[in-house]
Amino acid sequence: MPLQLDRGAIDTLHHDGELSESELAGASLADQSASGFRFVTVRLADVDLSGSRLEHLAITDGALRRSNLANVHAARASLNRVSVEGGRMTGIAMPEAALKDVSFQGCRIDLASFGFSRLQRVTFEDCVLQQTDFLEAQLDDVRFHRCDLGRSDFRGARLQRCEFRRSDLTGLQGVESLRGAAMEWPDIVEMAGLLASTLGIQILDTD
């Protein structure tokens, strides 16, 4: 079934509601409160969901372009086969969420939280993730490419087959949790001081 352009056909999200096989553009859906809402096979463009409380949100086979998810609270959300491009996601909270086969490109995801979440085959590319936390999260096959992770928090996180390429890790917390990650050599050299401090290695002055 082809996607249908759906402008303004929905102005409220309802508990356990669903929008499927649709393309939604330019909709203002800020400050919604809906538990269990499902987006299935949808394309959202320039949609404003900022400030909404969307516990148990589910997005399957979705594409979000230039949409505003700032300060959305989506505890125990489920995202499966989703691409997010150019999104504003400052302050988004997704604790205990499940993200699988998801890509974020050119998004602002600073001051966000993925605490206690499970991320599988997720890619962050050209994203700002400053002061974002992955506390106690499980990251499997997660890739950070050219991202700003300054002062992000990985304390208690568990990483498997994860990559950090040309990303800024200045002030990162929980360095010891990066066990299981892979980095390019220049990034490792740049982090040498932080790694030494975490391991308790004292730096001697050269003779």
The enclosing H or E element of 138 equals strand 138-140
Residue 5 has pLDDT above 60, yes or no: no
Label residue 4 by pLDDT band (50, 70, 90): very low
Report the CATH number that the domain containing residue 72 is assigned in CATH.
2.160.20.80
- pLDDT higher than threshold 80 for residue 201: no
Q: Which residues, in sequence order, are bridge partners of residue 183? A: 164
Count of structural domains, the chain:
1
- Match 């604790």 to its residue by tokens: 95
- Tell me the two tokens of residue 76: 């125990």
In a domain, 5, yes or no: no
Q: How far apart are CA 79 and CA 203, in angstroms?
A: 45
Q: Does any domain span residue 143?
A: yes
- Whether 82 is in a domain gets the answer yes
Q: What is the pLDDT of residues 47-57, one digit of tens each?
A: 999 999 999 99
- pLDDT at site 11: 83
User: Average per-residue pLDDT in the chain?
Assistant: 92
Residues 6 or more apart in contact with residue 203 via CB below 8 angstroms: 193, 196
Domain that holds residue 176: 16-198
- Residue 21, domain member (yes or no): yes
pLDDT in tens, 107-157: 999 999 999 999 999 999 999 999 999 999 999 999 999 999 999 999 999
% of the chain with per-residue pLDDT over 70: 94
Is 8 inside any structural domain? no
Q: How many residues does the chain have?
A: 207
More confident residue, 9 or 168: 168
| Alpha-carbon 151 to chain mean position | 15
Q: How far is 15 from 46, CA to CA, in rounded Å?
A: 23
d(CA 191, CA 207): 23
Q: How many helices (H) and strands (E) does the chain have?
A: 2, 12
* Residue 37 CA: distances (Å) to CA of 17, 18, 75: 5, 6, 12
> Is residue 2 a part of any domain in this protein?
no
Determine the Cα–Cα distance for residues 112 and 38; give it in Å rounded to an integer.
Answer: 22
Under DSSP, is residue 177 helix (H, G, I), strand (E, B) or coil? helix
Nearest to 125 by CA among 170, 84, 182: 84
Task: Flag whether 62 is in a domain.
Answer: yes
In a domain, 10, yes or no: no
The values of phi and psi at residue 79, to 5°, are -120, 125
